[in-house]
Chains A and B, each alone.
Chain A
Amino acid sequence: MSTGEPPLTAEAARRAAQAVLDVPGADDVEVLVSASATGVTRFANSQIIQNIVRKEVRAYVRVAVGDRIASSGTNQLDAEHMNDAAARALEAASATRGDADFPGFARPDRDGRAQAVGRWDDATAAASPARRAEAVNQILGASNSANAAGTYETSSFAFGVFSSTGIDCFDAYTRCATTCLVDNGESTGWGDGSSHAMGEVDVEAAARRAARKAEASKSPRSAAPGTYEVVLEPAATGTIVEYLSYAGFGAKQVLEDESFLARHTGEEVGAPSISILDDVWHPQSVGIGFDFEGVPRKRVAVIEKGRARGPVSDLRTARQMGVEATGHGSRSNELGPYAANVVLEAGDKNLEALIEGVSHGFLVTRFHYVNILDRPATLLTGMTRDGTFAVEDGVITGAVRNFRFAQNVLSALASVQGVGQDLVSLAPEFGGFGSTVAPSLHLGEFDFVSTTSH
């Protein structure tokens, strides 16, 4: 954790895998090895309340006996545990019936050889608990608040996929993320920052922004629910596109008729200014250059200039659709392929210009507890929080109490009036895999359906 080295080297990952790649009884073997060194310092009530360092390794051994497949995993990479995992996978595979849709494991000659993205920063990987505490103290100082809460994280991750079919790939990345909520007793404000490199995360700016938002949110008035113009700041936009991705960017959802892409591919589903991709190669994305089957991650335009294109796929769904796999295997056939590095491409306006374009509407800092109401219809619900402001004739006129929204995302994207130039990289909210890159958005129509007391 303090060396700047990956949490697991390529050699160690490969060595663990090689112990089982030729296990007797299997026709083919694939091993996914993952490792992480996570340092998260949480603060609340303007003091550190939790502070952890976590080192983890995992290996998932997947075996194929003909078209019978099963996997078994372990968090111990020695040969004995790896062989035990392989034996348990073999035992399980023998109990299954054949899987007619099994596409085989990835092969470099057919599926390509992955390149590492290399989103790595030595300083972030080497950050000590003392360095994180120093960052938290900077945040607390800049927030100038007796009630600030949030996190400061410096973590590193490594992934390797190795198989008897010739797959041999490894990549590692770092992540620095901070959040800050300032609560002045009457209202709250929010600021955040995320990058693969801690030097690019301005913790004091995030804290100052949270403090400004909290101050500006004082004395919120109640506003009537209804359909309004809104400007979504990047954190709010990011949440919407993450859920849109979860709702329907995967080929499995398309094949099962549960994705909007199943019925609208090729059609206009958003304004021409809207392009949404899965692109781990975007300079602000944080991720790895291959999926959990070892297939190279391709840049996939799911919505291109407002028009619905194809989903992201893994080997199984690509075979079912008769297309080339895009390298988005999630390791779960139940979840299916997943777009973990969604990018909504930037526009040409700054946030102030987007707000100036609103005649009667609201500015949303971020959303809370969003969930899917209707997957094919891309209908979501959730709450606003930490800074929601009325905008009249292009001017912010004051804070309002939080709204609940219920919104068809495609309808919202079709109503886009402007796209911000302020692309922001957002870390996964629950600490998971990938990143989202999103700008501010001016939407012509957004449905707020109820309010709350704060």
Chain B
Amino acid sequence: MNELLSAALDAATSSGASYADVRGVESRVESLGVKGPTVESLDRFDSLGFGVRVLVDGAWGYACSAELDSTEAVSIARAAVDIARASATAMTVPAELAPEPVHRDSWVGPMELDPFAVTLEDKLELLTAATAGMQVSPKIRTTRATMDLLTEKTWFMSSEGSSIDQTFVQSAAGIEAVAVGGTEVQQRSYPGSFRGHFASGGYEVVTEMDLVANAEQTGEEAVALLTARPCPATVTSVVLDGHQTMLQVHESVGHPTELDRVLGMEAAFAGTSFVGIPDLGSLRYGSELVNINSDATIPGGLGSYGYDDEGVAAQRVDLVKEGILVGFQTSRETAAKIGADRSNGTMRAEGWENFPLIRMPNINLLPGAGSFEDLLADVTEGIYMATNKSWSIDDKRLNFQFGCEIAWEIKHGRLGRMLKDPRYTGITPAFWGSCDAIAGPEEWKVWGTPNCGKGQPGQTMRVGHGTSPARFRSVSTGMTS
């Protein structure tokens, strides 16, 4: 691969690129799905290809191919240069890149047990046992267990001299029960919705979830939701579990602090941000308890890496400190636009096929103090919501409405009756401003979500979020604000 990438790099620079980088990506995925006792899907996919990104006269071009020979490499590099020259015909401000040291390195992510060395029989047996465990009632209509495994090797070379290879292994699993009673349909999942929990690591990530031991409760809660009272529409104290806090961080802090969005570069598709450059250092984003960072260095985080896809070393930077906006997620181009010394390394692309974009690595709400029970203890009357089910937020990331799978009343510091269809709505800074407690390190976990969408053509990215349960006051529950 290095020889091919070198050929592409040489062709790009000799064709007129003032800067060029090339990436090769080889990946293998395995996806298993069991529905009830039946294997619903067993899919594998191998992918191999390379992409060439160039700057010519300050304009970008990108081309890529899965044909791995030096002739194609040269052809693709020249095509990228031609594309950049076309881009230059509609350019007013040339792209400049913030400096980055040259890196020559290999990085390998964590893995204890190779997930591809575990037999399919063992994987399917685990998933089938989990679906059987959820079948606690005739009202359980569907049980499903899934497993997603990825190994990926990447190569990066730049015209500045960097040469980096990285190896990733990521594993995921989850279970879901759907119960039906009359016209009512309710679902419950573990450890999280939308195919469960994803993390960097080997098969140990799967076994640590203990899917089978959690199956019965998952099924029972799905059935119980059928007869639970609807979550009331009111204004009250709300405690969110770690999974829903992950979604809250993702949508209302992660995306609004992507500097490309702030600068309008995603305006037509995903939208912009309520945050502006002048807000840095002064905007009150949340209460003084709210500390949020971007950290690509967490061992096991789904958004962890050694270097981003423009060869910038992984970093940990503060985004919100004691409630004040203090940072953005940046690329080399956007860092230069705001006069930063250096990118904080958040440019990633899905596979070899795509142009890198600013993507969240692990965006984390730092833990506060105390246990989950301590969060409840100070609530006379409120609602505890768990496990994300739906999400929607406006094009500036202000007005949001999020829904969870399940909730419970909180009465005088204790959980009470179960509630179905919990939803809450708010405006981002006001909501984070109402945060008056975040559980401590013992409750903190780095969640992973594999389906963050951005860009055109659309790219999905694997991102992480460290969170613990958190408490918010005067929250509007139900549909309306």
Assess whether B264 is in contact with A45, with CB atoms less than 8 Å apart: yes
Tell me which of B35, B62, B479 has the highest count of chain A C-beta atoms within 10 A of its own C-beta. B479
In the bound complex, CA of A273 to CA of B109 (Å): 58
Other-chain residue from B44, B90, B453 in contact with A92 (beta carbon distance below 8 A): B44
Q: Which residues of A contact B (CB under 8 A)?
A: 38, 40-58, 60, 69-76, 81, 84-85, 88-89, 91-93, 95-97, 99-101, 128-130, 132-134, 136-137, 140, 147, 149-151, 153, 179-181, 183, 188, 225, 256-258, 263, 332-334, 368-376, 381-383, 385, 402, 404, 406, 429-432, 449-454
Report whether A46 and B92 are in contact in the complex, using a CB–CB cutoff of 8 Å: yes
* Among candidates A51, A71, A101, residue contacting B43 with C-beta atoms closer than 8 Å: A71
Residue of B at shortest CB range from A139? B90
How distant is the Cα of A382 from the Cα of B89 in the complex, in angstroms? 37
**A181 contact set on B, CB distance < 8 A:** 267-268
Contacts of A44 in B (CB 8 A): 264-268
Residue B457 CB within 8 A of the other chain: yes
Selected from A48, A69, A385, A432, the residue in CB contact (under 8 A) with B59 is: A48
Q: Are A96 and B394 in contact (CB under 8 A)?
A: no
The reply to whether B479 and A130 form a contact with Cβ atoms under 8 Å apart is no
Contact with A along B111-137 (1 / 0, CB 8 A): 000000001110010000000000000
Residues of B with Cβ closer than 8 Å to A?
Answer: 33, 35, 37-49, 59-66, 79, 82-84, 86-87, 89-93, 119-121, 124, 141-142, 144, 146, 178, 180, 183, 185, 263-269, 271, 274, 353-355, 390-396, 398-399, 401, 403, 421, 423, 425, 427, 453, 456-458, 479-481
Could you say which residues of chain A place their CB within 8 Å of the CB of B183? 263, 376
Q: Looking across the interface, which residue of chain B has its beta carbon closest to that of A369? A: B392
**Chain A residues, CB < 8 A from B93:** 45, 47
CA distance A46 to B398 in the complex (A): 25
Quick one: which of B59, B83, B119, B354 contacts A95, CB cutoff 8 A? B119
Which residue of chain A lies nearest to B83 when distances are taken between CB atoms in the complex?
A129
Q: Which residue of B lies closest to A141 (CB)?
A: B90
User: If A51-B86, A334-B40, A368-B394 touch, does A183 touch B401 (CB 8 Å cutoff)?
Assistant: no
- Given contacts A48-B59, A263-B183, whether A133 and B48 have CB atoms under 8 Å apart is no
B247 smallest CB distance to A (angstroms): 12
Chain B nearest CB, measured from A253 CB (Å): 10
Q: Report how far A57 CA is from B65 CA in the complex, Å.
A: 9
Q: Which residues of B contact A129 (CB under 8 A)?
A: 61, 82-83, 86-87
CA distance A147 to B264 in the complex (A): 9
Query: Are A133 and B89 in contact, CB atoms less than 8 angstroms apart?
Result: yes
For A369, give its contact among B39, B178, B395, B456 (CB under 8 Å): B395
Q: Contact partner of A404 among B35, B64, B86, B394, CB < 8 A?
A: B394
- The answer to whether B427 touches A73, judged by C-beta atoms less than 8 angstroms apart, is no
Return B28 CB to nearest CB of chain A, in Å: 9
Nearest chain B CB to A314's CB is how many angstroms away? 13
A307–chain B nearest beta-carbon distance, Å: 20
**In the complex, what residues of B have CB within 8 A of residue A225's CB?**
480-481
A95 B61 Cβ-Cβ under 8 A: no
Residue in chain A with minimal CB distance to B181: A257
> Is A449 in contact with B42, judged by CB distance below 8 angstroms?
no
| Beta-carbon contact of B456 and A73 below 8 Å | no
Complex contact B39–A257 (CB within 8 A)? no
Contacts of B423 in A (CB 8 A): 373
Set A50, A96, A257, A371: member contacting B391, Cβ < 8 A: A371
Residue pair A100, B38 in contact (C-beta under 8 Å)? yes
Q: Which residue of B lies closest to A101 (CB)?
A: B38
Q: Is the pair B264, A132 in contact by a Cβ cutoff of 8 Å?
A: no
Q: Are B392 and A97 in contact (CB under 8 A)?
A: no
Chain B nearest CB: distance from A43 CB in Å? 6
Whole-angstrom distance between the alpha carbons of A150 and B264 in the complex?
Answer: 11
9 nearest interchain CB pairs?
A95-B120, A430-B458, A452-B399, A133-B86, A129-B86, A450-B481, A73-B45, A149-B268, A149-B267
CB distance from A401 to the nearest CB of B (A): 10
CB-nearest residue of chain B relative to A257? Answer: B180
Q: How far is the CA of A149 from the CA of B270 in the complex (A)?
A: 11
Known contacts A51-B61, A429-B269; 15 additional CB pairs below 8 A are A45-B93, A51-B62, A73-B45, A95-B121, A128-B86, A129-B61, A137-B89, A151-B268, A151-B269, A257-B141, A258-B185, A368-B271, A371-B390, A381-B390, A450-B425
Give CA–CA (A402, B267) in the complex, Å. Answer: 16
Q: Is the CB of A130 within 8 A of B86?
A: yes
Bound Cα distance A428, B144 (Å):
29
Tell me the minimal C-beta distance from A100 to chain B in angstroms.
Answer: 7
Query: Can you list 11 A-B pairs, Cβ within 8 angstroms, ordered by A?
Result: A44-B266, A48-B90, A75-B48, A97-B37, A179-B268, A258-B178, A258-B185, A383-B392, A383-B394, A385-B271, A406-B401
Q: Are A42 and B44 within 8 A (Cβ)?
A: no
B458 contacts across to A, CB distance below 8 A: 430-432
Task: Tell me whether B120 and A370 are in contact (CB under 8 A).
Answer: no
In the bound complex, do residue A373 and residue B42 qualify as a contact, i.e. CB atoms below 8 Å apart?
A: no
Q: Report the tally of A-B residue pairs with Cβ distances under 8 A.
A: 257
CB neighbours (8 Å) of A132 from chain B are 86
- A53 with B390, Cβ < 8 A, contacts A74-B45, A133-B89 known: no
| Contact indicator B267/A183 (Cβ below 8 Å) | yes
Chain A nearest CB from B56 CB (Å) reads 11
Cβ 8 A contact of B355, one of A52, A376, A402: A52
Q: Which residues of B contact A256 (CB under 8 A)?
A: 141-142, 178
By a CB distance below 8 angstroms, the chain A residues around B48 are 75-76
Query: A99 with B39: in contact, given A149-B267, A371-B390, A373-B390 (CB under 8 Å)?
Result: yes
Query: Are A40's CB and B456's CB within 8 A?
Result: yes
Given A52-B355, A256-B142, A373-B423: A334 touches B41 (CB 8 Å cut-off): yes
- Tell me the smallest distance from the CB of B71 to a CB of chain A, in Å: 15
Name which of B63, B121, B398 has the most chain A CB atoms within 10 A of its CB: B63
Could you say which residues of chain A place their CB within 8 Å of the CB of B479? 381, 406, 449
Asked if B395 contacts A385 (CB within 8 A), the reply is yes
In Å, the complex CA distance between A332 and B146 comes to 13
CA distance A432 to B456 in the complex (A): 10
Q: With a CB–CB cut-off of 8 A, which chain A residues contact B421?
A: 374
Q: Which residues of A contact B268 (CB under 8 A)?
A: 44, 149-151, 179-181
- Which residues on B sit within 8 Å (CB–CB) of A93? 42
* A43 & B90 in contact (Cβ 8 Å cutoff): yes
Give the chain B neighbours of A432 by CB distance below 8 A: 458
Given contacts A257-B180, A263-B183, A385-B394, contact A73 B64 (CB under 8 A): no
B43 near A72 (CB under 8 angstroms)? Answer: yes
Chain B residues closer than 8 Å to A334, beta-carbon distance: 33, 35, 40-41, 144, 146
Contact present for A50 and B62 (CB under 8 Å) = yes
B481–A41 CB distance below 8 A:
no
When distances are taken between beta carbons in the complex, the residues of chain B under 8 Å from A369 are 271, 392-395
B66 contacts which of A56, A89, A381, A430 (Cβ < 8 Å)? A56
Inter-subunit contact A183/B264 (CB<8 Å): yes
Chain A residues near B46 (CB-CB < 8 A): 72-76, 81, 84-85
CA–CA, A162 to B453, complex, Å? 32
Cα-based distance from A31 to B394 in the complex (angstroms): 41
Min CB–CB distance B238 → chain A (angstroms): 16
**B118 nearest CB across to chain A (Å):** 11
Whether A133 pairs with B87 at a CB distance below 8 angstroms is: yes
Query: Taking each of A44, A130, A402, which has the highest tally of chain B beta carbons within 10 Å of its own beta carbon?
Result: A44
Give every chain B residue within 8 A of A130 (Cβ-Cβ): 82, 86, 89
Inter-chain CA distance A75–B68, complex, in Å, is 11
Are B38 and A99 in contact, CB atoms less than 8 angstroms apart?
A: yes
Tell me the complex Cα distance, A451–B426, Å: 10
Q: List residues of chain B with CB within 8 A of the CB of A54.
A: 63-64, 353-354, 457
A454 and B403 form a contact (CB under 8 A)? no
Please measure, in the bound complex, the distance between the C-alpha atom of A136 and the C-alpha atom of B86, giving whole angstroms: 10
Query: Do the beta carbons of B42 and A71 come within 8 Å of each other?
Result: yes
- Do A52 and B264 touch across chains, with their CB atoms under 8 A apart? no
Q: Which chain A residue lies CB-closest to B27?
A: A75
Whether A51 pairs with B83 at a CB distance below 8 angstroms is: yes
How near does chain B come to A400, taking the closest CB pair, in angstroms?
A: 14
Chain A residues near B395: list those with CB within 8 A. Answer: 368-369, 383, 385, 402
Chain A residues in 8 Å Cβ range of B396: 452-454
